[in-house]
Amino acid sequence: MSNDPKSSPTGLRRNLASHGDPGFSLFLRKAFIKAAGFSDDALDRPIVGITNTFSDFNPCHGNVPRLIEAVKRGVMLAGGLPMEFPTISIHESFANPTSMFLRNLMAIDTEEMIRAQPMDAVVLIGGCDKTVPAQLMAAVSADVPAIQLITGPMLVGYHKGEMLGACTDCRRLWGQHRAGAMDQDEVEVVSGRLAPTQGTCMVMGTASTMGCLVEALGIALPGSGSIPATHADRIRAAEASGRQAVKLAKGGPRPSELLTEAAFRNSMVVLQAIGGSTNGLVHLAAIARRSGIRIDLEEFDRIGRQVPVLVDLKPSGANYMEHFHWAGGVPRLLQELRDHLALDAATVTGETIGAIADRAEDIPGQTIIRSRANPVKATGSMAVLRGNLAPSGAVIKHAAASPELLQHTGRAVVFDSVEDLVTRIDDPDLDVAADDILVLRNAGPKGAPGMPEAGYLPIPKKLAQAGVKDMVRISDARMSGTAFGTIVLHIAPESATGGPLGLVQNGDLILLDVSERRLELLVSEDELERRARDWRPPAHLSEEVRGYRGLYLRSVLQADEGCDFDFC
């Protein structure tokens, strides 16, 4: 290996630490890496970075050590030098106040570690909801050739002979417990059966959605997004990703060349067809924004009117990710969606999306990936709503809603914050009826802060015990992709920044009309102007706040822009 740092900008010579003498910087770097036992031969090879997002606090990433081992094997078999490095890891249930608050921090961490360290390509290993979006945001900004490797979904569990999975069934069974139909002992037993293996939630929640979208974006190996976390195929996909990364390290496409307008359009088609998570839309907007592309919510809505839901998975359908995988996964779905896709979009393998669709395996008798002649739902899973309550848009996953509530006018029952909701929702004296509309505000990106998954407001206990299963619920919050119900989310602008949601009062009438894409507060303009004059932002937005929380509160954007930081 030459000591001349100008002979090649690759491998160990990339991104030298600044000492005012590049030759000395390289000399020092070699000295320290030799201290780790590397030989000169190893140091002449292309370097593939591998993110290590293992954490005892992240069971969805429990298989990461084995995946890293396999990626390294693939890199070495292809003649590269694998270098593992740690980044932040985030799990949905272990991040306070909410994982979304930390997504941008993980994106910044990952981006800067890719930029700072010498790597010619990077394998991004992620899975739990916020990790894959954060890694893709980072990859776009760092623009080093990258390949995404998903940790993979869990296998299903069983309780009393019924197939179960996280977390659509977590919510359904918890709802039964709240309604008094499942006692404490049984709910404890169930908590040990809903998530029976390592890996990510195995319904079409946010993690599964992102697993599909990375294939649609062309930045993961075809078919790799849906392989269960515990299967040998998952390990082989890791090895293959390592091999592919070495090809990328020698001049493969960069994220900026893969993540084009066509790739984002393809991903919107797939998001509608899989019955995907509403969070997927926020994350796509953030990743696209880093690419200088704006996700057009109207276009997303138009796609939803044309593209049916074809994948029969919970919460829109009945099955789980392992069933989708064995039915042919994303490649088989792409084949069914051919007419809606930009078939010449490039992928990380060098194949086009069209070529991947063409060679998808046809599984005789499978019923999970439907034909367009026999869809799960005739239109896509999500709609974008507008109206005087949501001037910059709101989203509803109507595929997982109650059809009879999709056109509904009801009386508002308002909760001023997540804390207010927790305090009063089960109050027996709460003035609420089944045909009212539950309103939650100050739960958006700045208001909560962190835009928690609080949009799935629980049915008030007294109504749940009376058998009410669904109500119209609206908020500026998010909801888990695993949830279901007639739930309007992501109202923008959020109430904490002066959005009209902040002007709703108990007893106002609200109109939801999904076929007309309308969300209206039926109060006169004069009255709304009067209320706006009296409106004040939440106290925490006028305080001096230090550290990451201060950075977040000053910089986070609204949901329609992906909740990224304005300076990213």
Q: Which residues contact 204 (CB under 8 A, 6 or more apart)?
A: 274, 275, 276, 277, 311, 313, 314, 315, 316, 317, 321, 481, 482
Mark the segment that binds ligand FES (CB under 6 A) among 49-57, 85-93, 303-311, 396-404: 85-93
Contact stretch for ligand FES (CB under 6 A) within 142-150, 198-206, 470-478, 498-506: 198-206
Q: How far is the CB of 541 from ligand FES (least distance, A)?
A: 29
Q: Does 91 bind ligand FES (CB under 6 A)?
A: yes
Nearest-approach distance from CB 163 to ligand FES, in angstroms: 17
Which CB sits closer to ligand FES, 128 or 285? 128
217 forms part of the interface with ligand FES (CB under 6 A): no
Q: Which of residues 275-294 bind ligand FES (CB under 6 A)?
A: none
Q: Name which of 410 and 452 has its Cβ closer to ligand FES.
A: 452
**Could you tell me the smallest distance in angstroms from the CB atom of residue 51 to ligand FES?**
16
Contact set for ligand FES, span 118-157 (CB under 6 A): 128-129
In whole angstroms, how close is the CB of 277 to ligand FES at the nearest point?
A: 10
- 8 A C-beta contact, residue 495 and residue 476: yes
Q: State which residue, 153 or 460, has the beta carbon closest to ligand FES.
A: 153
Q: Which stretch binds ligand FES (CB under 6 A): 76-84, 86-94, 446-454, 544-552?
A: 86-94
Instruction: Provide DSSP, 209-238.
Output: HHHHHHHHTT-S-TT-TTS-TTSHHHHHHH
Neighbouring residues of 298: CB distance < 8 A, sequence distance ≥ 6: 384
Q: Which is nearer to ligand FES, 12 or 287 (CB)?
A: 287
Out of 12, 48, 92, 253, name the contact with ligand FES by CB under 6 A. 92
Shortest Cβ distance from residue 207 to ligand FES (Å)?
4
Q: Which is nearer to ligand FES, 145 or 205 (CB)?
A: 205
- At residue 304's C-alpha, the angle toward residues 300 and 309, to 5°, is 135
Minimum Å distance from CB 247 to ligand FES?
30
Minimum separation from the CB atom of position 536 to ligand FES (A): 36
Question: What does the alpha-carbon distance between residue 49 and residue 242 come to, in Å, rounded to a whole number?
Answer: 10
Binder of ligand FES out of 201, 413, 414, 440 (CB under 6 A) = 201
Q: Is 213 among the residues that bind ligand FES (CB under 6 A)?
A: no
Length reported for the chain: 568
Q: How far apart are the first and last CA of the chain?
A: 37
Instruction: Determine which residue in the list 26, 60, 75, 245 makes contact with ligand FES, applying CB under 6 A.
Output: 60
Assign residue 467 a region (left: φ > 0; alpha: ψ between -120 and 50; beta: otherwise). left
Looking from the CA of 236 toward its CB, the CA atoms found within 13 Å total 7
Least distance between ligand FES and beta carbon 214 (Å): 14
Question: Least distance (Å) from ligand FES to the CB of residue 128?
Answer: 3
Least separation in angstroms between residue 374's CB and ligand FES is 30
Nearer residue to ligand FES within complex by CB, 5 or 329: 329
Q: Do the beta carbons of residue 246 and residue 240 sit within 8 Å?
A: no
200 binds ligand FES per the rule CB under 6 A: yes
Determine, following the binding rule CB under 6 A, whether residue 453 of this chain makes contact with ligand FES. Answer: no
Stretch that binds ligand FES, among 104-112, 201-209, 248-256, 537-545 (CB under 6 A): 201-209
Residue ranges with strand state E in 143-219? 146-150, 157-159, 162-164
Identify the CA nearest to 323 among candidates 274, 289, 373: 274
Output 57 or 158, the one with its CB closest to ligand FES.
57
Least separation in angstroms between residue 205's CB and ligand FES is 6
**CA-CA distance, 138 to 290, in Å (whole number)?**
9
* Cα 152 to chain centroid, rounded: 14
Give residues 307-346 in contact with ligand FES (rule: CB under 6 A): none
| Contact partners, residue 208, CB within 8 Å, separation at least 6 | 153, 200, 201, 202, 226, 274, 276, 277, 313, 321, 481
Spatial distance between the Cα atoms of 421 and 444, rounded to a whole number of angstroms: 14
Euclidean distance between CA atoms 284 and 214, whole angstroms: 10
Contacts for 256 with CB less than 8 Å, ≥ 6 apart: 140, 143, 291
Residues 157-186 binding ligand FES (CB under 6 A) are 166
* 473: DSSP letter: E
Kindly state the number of chain residues that form the binding site for ligand FES, as judged by CB under 6 A. 11
List alpha helices for 392-521, DSSP H.
418-424, 461-464
| Smallest gap from residue 99 Cβ to ligand FES (A) | 9
Q: State the Cα–Cα distance between residues 334 and 355, nearest whole angstrom.
A: 10
Strand pairing class (157-159; 162-164): antiparallel
Site mask for ligand FES (CB under 6 A), range 33-52, x = bound: --------------------
C-beta of 355: minimal distance to ligand FES in Å? 30
125, 204, 207, 389: residue in contact with ligand FES (rule CB under 6 A) = 207
Between helix 206-216 and helix 278-290 the angle, nearest 10°, is 40
Q: Which residues would be at the binding site for ligand FES (CB under 6 A)? A: 60, 91-93, 128-129, 166, 200-201, 205, 207
